[in-house]
Amino acid sequence: MKRKVAANAAVLAALRVGAPLCSLAIVLAVSRRLGAEGLGRYSLAYAYLALFSLLGPLGLPSLLTREGARDRNGLGRLLSSGVLLGGAVSLALTLLMAAIGGVTGYDAATSRALLILSAGILPSTCLICFEAVFLALEDTTPIALAALAEHAAKVGLGLAALVSGRGINAVLAAAVLGRFAACGVSIGLLRRRGVRVSLAADVASLKSLATLAPVFAATSVCATLYWRIDVLLLSRLRSVAEVGYYTAAYRLLDLATLLPQSLCQALYPRVAGDRAGESRWRPVALASLLLLTVPVALAVTIAARPLLRLLYRPDFVAAAPALVPLIWTAVPWAWSRYHACLLVANDRQNADLAINAAMLAVNAALNLALIPSRGMQGAAQVTLATALLYGLVQLGYLKRRALRAPVLAVAD
């Protein structure tokens, strides 16, 4: 069983390293062709897509993985019900994102970017649900194949659009096509594994998911806002160019969290399906997460300026003061991610929601206080400070409740 978890973690790690590198190719091309303003517009559109794409599934992916790991026979019914619920919400969110540009007063080019990328919400919701089922099956290869299809379309067509001078709108349209391609691949691979997606409603499954979904949905909302509110507030309180510098630095934080996220994601279905065991596994997992994050944070801190100059244009060195606190956020984030998996796996999702809601409030308040005067550096400092506080609150709860970490079976 150790081998299976290790293999799944390796596949997820390769996927989560390779996929952002593919996306980074687009980011670098946009930054070089269109400058900080073009990258800021691209990143802002993606920030909204990320927000709505996580709201669309109603928090159901974690629930689908947990319940599917406990009873694989009902995966088809659960998935179909999840897609129906999430799809209905996603259609409404698509209309909302499409209208945001005009309502919030963004310039015409930014409004068009939001309109185009809003078409990616529905396929994103479906894809997240499909991935949750593959995780419940502890089969990560299909996730990698779907991602390959998505990024082949996104990067290939996106780079072709930039080279031909078609601009940001064509790049975003290529990304939407990539999401639909990934959905098609996932549906085919699910059928091969005996899991069929049906639009016919299963009343019992719908009722079960609808009963459990509100807590998971609220947690998803809080968590999504928690990690995106800095970019959204920065876009309203400072310039679009500063958003571009900040998100350039943030891309490196995203890369630093890929390996620990893969390990936690590979462990989650196992601990959800078998919660019995000893607490000795948690120290091993947490030590592994430290080894995956601290050396990376240290290396990026030392090489922040030359790294930004190498990856982007020379003027992106201005993002260095934001990059240093951002990259160290990976360390407390990794522990928090693992502890969140433990909470949900042990049916403590209400506690997870309470912690997320409290930290969102703190994060928003500090960003509103610091961004006007300190800009992107203030946003980065808030990100690190609240990540540390987040981890301390989790640890306090776990200690008080004496929640024992489910153990990964050590027998091969």
Q: How high is the pLDDT of residue 406?
A: 39
Q: Which two three-digit tokens encode residue 43?
A: 């990143």
Segments in 238-348 forming alpha helices (H): 240-256, 258-273, 281-302, 304-311, 320-328, 330-345
Give CA–CA dist 132/83, Å, rounded. 11
Token code pair at residue 324? 């240093």
Predicted confidence at residue 167, as pLDDT, reads 82
Token digits of residue 143: 């996730």
Residue matched to tokens 């088809």: 76
Q: Is 148 exposed, middle or buried (0-12, 13-18, 19+ CB in 10 A)?
A: middle
The C-alpha atoms of residue 45 and residue 110 are separated, in whole angstroms, by 8
How many residues are there in the chain? Answer: 412
pTM assigned to the model: 0.70
**Residue whose C-alpha is closest to residue 318's, from 257, 241, 395:** 241
Helix axes 121-136, 75-104, angle to 10 degrees: 150
b/e burial code for range 90-123 (CB count within 10 A of at least 16 → b): beebbeebbebbeeeebeeebbbbbbbbbbbbbb
Per-residue pLDDT of the chain (412 residues; tens, 9 = 90+): 456 666 766 777 777 667 667 777 788 888 887 787 778 888 888 888 887 887 788 878 888 888 888 778 878 888 888 888 889 999 999 999 988 877 777 888 888 889 999 999 999 999 999 999 998 888 888 988 898 899 888 888 888 888 888 888 888 999 999 999 999 999 999 999 888 888 776 787 788 788 888 888 888 888 878 888 898 898 888 888 888 889 889 989 988 988 888 888 887 887 776 655 435 567 777 888 999 899 999 999 999 999 999 888 888 899 999 999 999 999 999 999 989 988 888 888 889 999 999 999 999 999 999 999 999 999 999 999 999 999 999 988 888 875 543 333 333 3
Count the Cβ atoms, other than its own, within 10 Å of residue 262: 22
Extract the tokens encoding 177. 């096509």
CB atoms within 10 A of CB 251: 21
* Helical pair 203-237 and 2-55, crossing angle rounded to 10 deg: 70
**How confident is the model at residue 40, as a pLDDT?**
81
CA of residue 171 relative to chain centroid, distance: 21
Residue 57, burial from CB neighbour count under 10 angstroms (0-12, 13-18, 19+): buried
d(CA 115, CA 111): 6
Residue 222 and residue 357 in contact, taking contact as beta carbons nearer than 8 Å: yes
d(CA 39, CA 29): 9
Q: 238, 378 in Cβ contact below 8 A?
A: no
111: which 2 tokens?
């409004």
Interatomic CA distance for residues 294 and 335, integer angstroms: 12
Q: What pLDDT is stored for residue 405 in this prediction?
A: 39
What b-and-e string marks burial along 305-335, b requiring 16 or more CB atoms within 10 Å of the CB?
bebbeeebeeebbbbbbbbbbbbbbbbbbbb
Provide the 10 A C-beta neighbour count for residue 138. 18
